[in-house]
Amino acid sequence: MRARLLTIDSGYVRPGFAACYLRVQGDEAAYVETNTSHAVPKLLEALQAEGLSPEQVRWIVVTHVHLDHAGGAATLLQHCPNATLVAHPRAARHLIDPSRLVASSKQVYGEEIFEKLYGEIPPAPAERVRAVEDGEVLELGGAPLHFLHVRGHANHHFVVHDPERDTVYTGDAFGLAYPYLQRAGRFVFASTSPTDFDGPEAKRSVDRIRELGTRTACLTHFGELDEIEAMAEQLHAWLDFSQELYERIRELPPQEREETAYRALLGHMEQAAQRRGLSLTKEDWELLSLDMRLNAQGLAYAASRNR
């Protein structure tokens, strides 16, 4: 029975920034990642285009509860009456009661920007949320989906190995590979955004994904990509630099950590791009500035936490 997979551009922030995946096996479907409530109509349209109804969705899977991955999960669940929401054990409680996530995000963004980015985040009914342990397997239309816990980016993160499709859904654990940066060959860099950066654990997670030996990896940011070995090599280099930078800024006064990290990350990005033969344009830097700022904030937060 043919395994079908559709990459859906959520439209979050800009095209080619955040993907969701619709996986179809036989007469059952699963979503991996939901983005925000604003993306739910696109997710349902993709399901209809595949000739399926919301009643045929069995699983709604989120790799972790950062809102660009899971903000729309409970809203999508409302439209899929037979679906179960699948999450890491540390993430499940935040889907059932998202009040802390919402409050902290509103504190960062303010009410107006939060609404524009994320919309409504209702609680998910506890009886419809399933926490999966490391190594647990769920079935979709008779095909197995293997769940593997991975730390380094977030302590509540898993990836989903899909052997029938010969891929793995990696969330943020296997880096960011934006389409606009792929014009000189595969180019990927790590996410160290707040709040759980751990360089050695992140490298172990990269290796665990690589050792699955899949043909492709499905990144939330962005798309189904091959060249797994080349990606893993780049991620190791990026994480080594990030760990060294984290150690360096730990010795600085708190008010200097983020800006020091940000400037260093910009320089490292330039060098990494040059090594791949990628000449970064002004437009590239405008798009990359958000990621570099988030990466710097993550390293500064980790340095403050572990001082």
Per-residue pLDDT, averaged over 218-226, amounts to 98
Residue 111 confidence (pLDDT) above 80: yes
Structure confidence by residue, pLDDT tens digits, 64-89 = 999 999 999 999 999 999 999 999 99
Contact by Cβ (8 Å): 199, 187: no
Residue 282 confidence (pLDDT) above 70: yes
Distance CA 203, CA 209 (A): 10
Per-residue pLDDT, averaged over 260-283, amounts to 97
Averaged pLDDT score across all residues of the chain: 96
Per-residue pLDDT, averaged over 226-235, amounts to 97
Token pair 């700022």 is found at 293
Q: Which domains does the chain have, with CATH numbers?
A: 1-132 (3.60.15.10), 159-218+226-307 (no CATH)
pLDDT higher at 2 or 234: 234
Q: How high is the pLDDT of residue 307?
A: 52
Structure confidence by residue, pLDDT tens digits, 148-170 = 999 999 999 999 999 999 999 99
Which residues, at least 6 apart from 214, have a Cβ–Cβ distance to it below 8 Å?
161, 162, 163, 166, 167, 168, 228
Per-residue pLDDT, averaged over 175-199, amounts to 96
Q: pTM for the whole thing? A: 0.96
Kindly indicate the confidence band of residue 305, based on its pLDDT and cuts at 50, 70 and 90. confident
Partners of 148 in beta bridges? 159
Q: How high is the pLDDT of residue 105?
A: 87
Q: How high is the pLDDT of residue 106?
A: 87
